[in-house]
Every structure is written in C-alpha cells, then in structure tokens.
Amino acid sequence: MEKTEQIHYRACHLCEATCGLEIRCRGAEILSIKGDKEDPLSRGFYCPKALALKDIHNDPDRLRHPVKRVGDKWIPLDWEEALDITVEEIFNIREEYGPDAVGVYLGNPCIHNYGMLTHGGHFLSHLKTRSRFSATSLDQLPHHLVGYLMYGHQLLVPIADIDRTDYFLMIGANPLASNGSMMTVPDIRKRIRSLQNRGGKLVVIDPRLTETAKVADEHHFITPGSDAAFLLAMLQTLFAENLVDTGNLSALLDGLETVRSAVKPFTPERAETWTGIPATTIRRLARDLSKADRGVCYGRMGVSVHLYGTLCQWAVQMLNILTGNLDRVGGALFTKPAFDTIGGPRSRPGHYAAWRSRVSALPEFSGELPAVTMAEEMLTAGKGQIRSLFTGAANPVLTASNGRLLEKALAGLDFMVSLDPFINETTRFANIILPPTSPLEHDHFDIGFFVMGIRNTVRYNQPVFAKPGGALHDWEIYSELGKRLAVKLGVKPRPEMAPDEMIDFGLQAGPYSSHAGHPEAMSLAKLKQNPHGIDLGPLQPSLPDRLYSENKRINGAPDLIMSDLSRVEQDLRQSGKGKDALLLIGRRHLFSANSWLHNTKRLVGIKERCQLFMHPDDMADLAVKDGQQVRITSRVGSVEVGVKATDEVMKGVVSLPHGWGHDRPGVRLSVAACHPGVSMNDLTDEKIFDPVSGNASLNSVPVTVKGMN
C-alpha cells in the first residue's frame, strides 16, 4: 500500500536562528525541507544547512548503538552493558581519586537539544566535580559574566532591537554567514534591508570585509584584538563632548562618575594607533550613535573571543546605556520568554570565582572552569588531576585552543565516555560512545534561544519520526546514567519527569500563563495545537523589574572591569611597536556549523573552503603566490594550507576557518575524510585568553606564514 505523505513543522536546531521548517515525509523518507511561512519569527526563511537535517538523519556513519573501543577497533555493545560499564568506571575513578578526577566537557549542540539541558543534571549533578568545562568559555562567556556583574543575572543579555532601530553598530559579528548569535534573528539580510529602507544605517567594524560588511552602509577595518581601545575611545568621546544622555536609566544607574574618570585617558587619538581607525572616524561614530533616534551597539565573537572579551562586552553595554538606548524600543531590550529561565523559581543568576582552577588558578563561572585550562588539568599530576572525561555533544580537539595538546591529554586518560552520534576527532579517544537518537526522532523546544529572540515567540515541535526500538534519547541516557550512579553513591536519583512535562510546568508558571493572569493561558497543550509557533509580540522595556540585582539597580562600574583598564593602558603603550607577526582570525562559512557538518556531501561541495585568506601586499612581502601551499606557524604548532589572495582582509591579518582537520587517524566520517582541511585550533594558543573571564582568545593569534615549494 502506498504510504501517505505527511507534513511536519519543526524548528531547525543547527544554529541560533532556529528557523521554522516544513518537512514533508512519506513513511521514513524525507521528501522535502523548506521554510515554514507561518512561523512568526522566521517567516519562511531558511538556509541551505536545513537540508542537512536529512543527511544527518540518514548518515551511515551515525552510530545507532553504543560502541566500545578495543585497541583500534570498535565493537557494538547493548545499552545495559554500555551504561553499566560507564558508571562503574566513573564511580571507581571517583572513589580512588576524588570527584574532581572526573571531568565533564559539554559542547555547543547541547543548547540546541533541550532534553540535554533539562536532564544533564540527572547525571552530572551526582558527580559533584569541579572539573567542569564547556564551549561557553570558547564563546559567549563574557556576555554572561557582564550580565551577571551589571544586571545581576548571567542570562540578562540585552538583545538588539533590529526591526525598530535606526542605527546598528555591529562589532565583530558576521550574521550573514552565522545567521546571528546571542541574538536569535532568522532572515537577517531582509531585516538589514528593512532598516536601510526606513532610512537607517548599519555600520560594521571588522578586520575583514565580510558578507555582512558588504551589505553595510559603512565598514571600518580594525586591527584584531584592539576593540577595547576603540570602544573606550567611543565612551570617552561621549563624555568629552557632553553627549551622555542616560534618559530613564539615570535613576537606576550606579557608577556613572567612576566610568567618566576611568575612560578619560582613552582618547580617540591613542586608539587610532592601535586600531587603525582614524580618531575623527571614532568621534563621528560616537556622535552618530548618540544622535540616532534609536540606536544600538552589538558585539559578538570578534570582541568576545579575545584578550579583552569581558571589558569589550561591558563597553558595548555602556555605549547603549550612555546613549539612553538600553531598555528603549529600537535599542537593546531584554526578552520576556514564555519559559522563563530568568524570572522563574529555578533561576540561576550565576557565581564567579567561587573556586579557581588547580593549575593556573583561573576563576570558575557558574560552576564551570575555562576550557583553556582543560588540557593542563589532565596533564598535570597531583590531587584533583582529571583522569576520566565525559563529553557531551562536543568536539574540542577541533574547536578548543591548542587541539594537539588536548589530543595528548585525552590519550592519557584512564577512561573516557562520549555522548555523541559520531566517531570524530574527539570521540575516537573515548572508551565508550553512547549515541542518542537522531534529532528528528525527538521533540524540540528552544529553551535557550527564546531568551535571545529579537521578538518574543514560543514554539514546541513533536518528533518527525518515532524513536526506533532500542534507541535512547540524550535525556534518557542522562537519566539512565544518573539512576545507576545514584545507586552506587547511595543517594536519591532525580525524580522521573520527561522534558516536555518540565516545559509544560514552566509554561504554566510563566509570564503568559493563566496563573499570571495572561490571556494567552500558555501551556504545552496550546503549543501542540499551534505547531508554527505563537507570536508574543515585540520586545518591551522592562526595567527596573527585570533586573536581578538585589538593589534593582544597574552596576555601571563593576570593580572587576574597572581594574582591567590598566591592562589596556599597558597594551596601548606597546601598540605600534614591533609588529612582525601576522594576526590570525577565524571565518565562518554559511555551510558549516563549527566542526560537525562536513560529513554531508551537499554542504562540503566541490570548492575548497579551508584556505588561508591573505592580503596581496603581505603575500608580496613574503613572496607567496595565490593558490600556493603555505605553512602557518604559531607558538603551539603549524599547519599547511593553500593561500588565497584577497584584499577583503586588512593588511597584517590572515584568516582561516575553524572546524576542519578531519584526516586524523581513527576518525569515521567518510565524507569529511575526502575534504579534511586543517584545524585552525592546531594554531590557537591555550595561553592566550581573557584573564577576567578565562574565555579563550581564538581571534588575533600571532602567526608567521612561509611559502612551501
């Protein structure tokens, strides 16, 4: 009998844009994937990566059952055995060496898989280890630390109101390739066009003329790593030219005078030497932002993931505050999500430096230590040395600083287990791999991304396919591990409740619930009846109510940040002197998602993407030619790759994408193996980081380049 066609509505979980998709299936076959025109946020937009959902689902390399490594062979295990061995090994190491000997590393896809968020604690909380790490400290940690210091909560990150602003100052972000980050903004190209059509302006500050810079009204090259000087000079100009107007925030803001005197020495003239942006331009940009009716400054990877990540994110907040644009329509606003992880009863505002890492004494944030310390914590003998590692949805060998050092560390572990569907550059070191169901086999809810939306919306999607017999979802694996470990430890396991029940609970206690007297009367049942999602309206001013600080005030001058200004002062004095090294920055491509979408033919294509971009003048200086193989060397390692001449990168800057380097032995990714590329993180340096947060500095790595014959 011919099977009938079915249409499923489903969010794409591959990036932060979380586009609504329409997936047509017949039986187990996916016939088509396209944008859901009725999705209130993405309005039919989707990008070519969405089609990869079909490839991931059907990928023959995707593990369907647990495996155990014996020498260089992988043998299948049944679930009972795999879970039992895992818990036994971890328990034994914990007993012998203490809780901190068990490390945990969680990767980016955890945030896109809500069961991993709701149920990770079922297992991980029993470990009681301080050796916890995640991709957060390769990424957005400075945003969380600044939210915590200034507004009292790590998730209080204001969102740029792109649909209503007149002036968008974007620093170190390339949303036309990344589709937006710390800002859930599907279809940003159209939104930028609308901004321009209503007479507004987009200004991009980036060392590369990116896809986004090309559609901007203004683009200014900036020396990588010098944004602190640029941002401080912008703040200095606002004070010096009497442009400060904090509007409604005046009554809530502490520390204004401290900031005024702290930024005084950081003049645009001094910033010019380091940044390469003329002082007159910096002053004009400060005036333009302050004079715009509705303006906003937004900074992302390019300012978070370098030596001054925290300071820069603070300065971005201050620019919005001093121009009266925080908590203003068309400026930067806080969201009000239906499942409220900030205002709810289980809110976790965060904590900082409650303990420090054993070897380098870097601060924890909210229970996690910086990823840059992970390898040394495995390699340095002594009490608390990590001897066993659990990884969940992570590939740090390709994505964390100094991947080669990490490989060495992983190879020396007593036991490693990975919750992951693939045998890749990291999981090949595991003793056991526990593969979850395919993403389309479980339901979906964007706990993390509704908090970052440029509009308040909510959506829940049921699974596209039924769970195959004998398979387990990520959350079920966590539950099973947790139950077993609780028995061994003689403690109570977490209560049984499926992720969707937890969501229902949160929705019915949230700000749009009947409990809160809201006409939406939000519940899971309601979301099930509205698979396209529900629009909850544009972002609204919400201060001081939304502040989580005890005194309900904004801390404009946190001590931790004020005391970091002396470091900028020192670097400013050094700038301009001895500029031998080239500075390496990253590059995202629309068809990639960090390290894990290179095993699909339609996304790796035929054109080589893993190339070094270099300015023709720098190439002439080094006598290298377009297309030639070059060796790039940093303090920690070197790689060989083809070079492409382009004046899209500024002089003195070279750019390489991350997430490549699939030709390591033992990797079982058959398509990626044909397009291996090299890993940028064989060059990034675990000793270069933002000392305030411990966040990695993956951009602006000093390197030398040499032509090969």
Ligand X SMILES: Nc1nc2c(c(=O)[nH]1)N[C@H]1C(S)=C(S)[C@@H](COP(=O)(O)OP(=O)(O)OC[C@H]3O[C@@H](n4cnc5c(=O)[nH]c(N)nc54)[C@H](O)[C@@H]3O)O[C@H]1N2
Comparing CB distances to Mo ion, the nearer of 508 and 679 is 679
Comparing CB distances to ligand X, the nearer of 362 and 680 is 680
For ligand SF4 (CB under 6 A), the number of binding residues is: 12
User: Rounded to whole angstroms, how far apart are CA atoms 7 and 57?
Assistant: 17
- Helices and strands of the chain, counted as H and E runs: 23, 30
Interacting partner of 225 out of Mo ion, ligand X, ligand SF4, none (Cβ under 5 to 8 A depending on kind): ligand X
Is residue 138 at the binding interface for ligand SF4, with CB under 6 A as the rule? no
Cis peptide before 278 (omega within 30 of 0): no
Is residue 182 at the binding interface for ligand SF4, with CB under 6 A as the rule? no
Comparing CB distances to ligand SF4, the nearer of 110 and 477 is 110
662: helix, coil or strand?
Answer: coil
Comparing CB distances to ligand SF4, the nearer of 33 and 116 is 33
- Using the CB atoms, write b or e for 298-320: b if 16+ within 10 Å: bbbbbbbbbbbbbbbbbbbbbbb
Is residue 18 at the binding interface for ligand SF4, with CB under 6 A as the rule? yes
Do residues 89 and 118 lie in contact, with contact meaning Cβ atoms separated by under 8 Å? no
User: Rounded to whole angstroms, how far apart are CA atoms 415 and 89?
Assistant: 7
The least distance separating ligand SF4 from the CB of residue 23, rounded to whole angstroms, comes to 12
Comparing CB distances to ligand SF4, the nearer of 429 and 449 is 449
Interacting partner of 557 out of ligand SF4, ligand X, Mo ion, none (Cβ under 5 to 8 A depending on kind): none
Is residue 17 at the binding interface for ligand SF4, with CB under 6 A as the rule? yes
Q: What is the dihedral of CA 537, 541, 545, 547, to 10 degrees?
A: 110
Comparing CB distances to Mo ion, the nearer of 139 and 682 is 139
Helices (H), 128-250: 141-151, 175-178, 188-197, 211-215, 227-240
Q: Taking CA 222 as the corner, what is the angle to CA 216 and CA 223, rounded to the nearest 5 degrees?
A: 155
The least distance separating ligand X from the CB of residue 305, rounded to whole angstroms, comes to 6
Site of interaction with ligand X (CB under 6 A): 15-16, 107-109, 113, 135, 138-139, 171-175, 177-179, 181, 205-208, 210, 222, 224-225, 227, 300-303, 306, 392-396, 399, 419-422, 424, 436, 439, 474, 585-586, 588-590, 592-596, 658-659, 680-681, 684, 698-700
Is residue 186 at the binding interface for ligand SF4, with CB under 6 A as the rule? yes
Tokens in use for 32?
């088509």
179: helix, coil or strand?
Answer: coil
- Using the CB atoms, write b or e for 71-94: b if 16+ within 10 Å: eeebeebebeebbebbbebbbebb
Is residue 212 at the binding interface for ligand SF4, with CB under 6 A as the rule? no
Is residue 157 at the binding interface for ligand SF4, with CB under 6 A as the rule? no
Q: Taking CA 570 as the corner, what is the angle to CA 567 and CA 572, rounded to the nearest 5 degrees?
A: 110
Cβ neighbours of 372 (radius 10 Å): 28
Is residue 19 at the binding interface for ligand SF4, with CB under 6 A as the rule? yes
Residue among 613, 610, 639 at smallest CA distance from 626: 613
Interface residue with ligand SF4, options 47, 63, 434, 619 (CB under 6 A): 47
The least distance separating ligand X from the CB of residue 128, rounded to whole angstroms, comes to 22
Do residues 169 and 213 lie in contact, with contact meaning Cβ atoms separated by under 8 Å? no
DSSP state of 669: -
Residue among 603, 572, 600, 592 at smallest CA distance from 671: 600
Comparing CB distances to Mo ion, the nearer of 30 and 182 is 182
Interacting partner of 46 out of ligand X, ligand SF4, Mo ion, none (Cβ under 5 to 8 A depending on kind): ligand SF4
Is residue 624 at the binding interface for ligand SF4, with CB under 6 A as the rule? no
- Cβ-count burial of 189 within 10 angstroms (0-12 exposed, 13-18 middle, 19+ buried)? middle
Do residues 637 and 683 lie in contact, with contact meaning Cβ atoms separated by under 8 Å? yes
The least distance separating ligand SF4 from the CB of residue 532, rounded to whole angstroms, comes to 15
Site of interaction with Mo ion (CB under 5 A): 139
Interface residue with ligand SF4, options 8, 9, 10, 15 (CB under 6 A): 15
Interacting partner of 508 out of ligand SF4, Mo ion, ligand X, none (Cβ under 5 to 8 A depending on kind): none
Q: Which region, judged by CB under 6 A, interacts with ligand SF4, from 41-49, 159-167, 516-524, 539-547? A: 41-49
User: Rounded to whole angstroms, how far apart are CA atoms 56 and 99?
Assistant: 36
Comparing CB distances to ligand SF4, the nearer of 46 and 266 is 46
Q: Which region, judged by CB under 6 A, interacts with ligand SF4, from 10-18, 201-209, 385-393, 571-579? A: 10-18
Cα 43 to Cα 6, 18, 19, distances in angstroms: 21, 11, 8
8: helix, coil or strand?
Answer: strand
Is residue 20 at the binding interface for ligand SF4, with CB under 6 A as the rule? no
Interacting partner of 227 out of ligand X, ligand SF4, Mo ion, none (Cβ under 5 to 8 A depending on kind): ligand X
Q: Which region, judged by CB under 6 A, interacts with ligand SF4, from 47-55, 112-120, 207-215, 488-496? A: 47-55
Q: Which residues contact 661 (CB under 8 A, 6 or more apart)?
A: 398, 403, 425, 639, 676, 677, 678, 679, 681, 682
Is residue 50 at the binding interface for ligand SF4, with CB under 6 A as the rule? yes
Interface residue with ligand SF4, options 10, 49, 208, 526 (CB under 6 A): 49
Interacting partner of 421 out of ligand SF4, ligand X, Mo ion, none (Cβ under 5 to 8 A depending on kind): ligand X
Chain residues in the site for ligand SF4 (CB under 6 A): 12, 14-15, 17-19, 46-47, 49-50, 179, 186
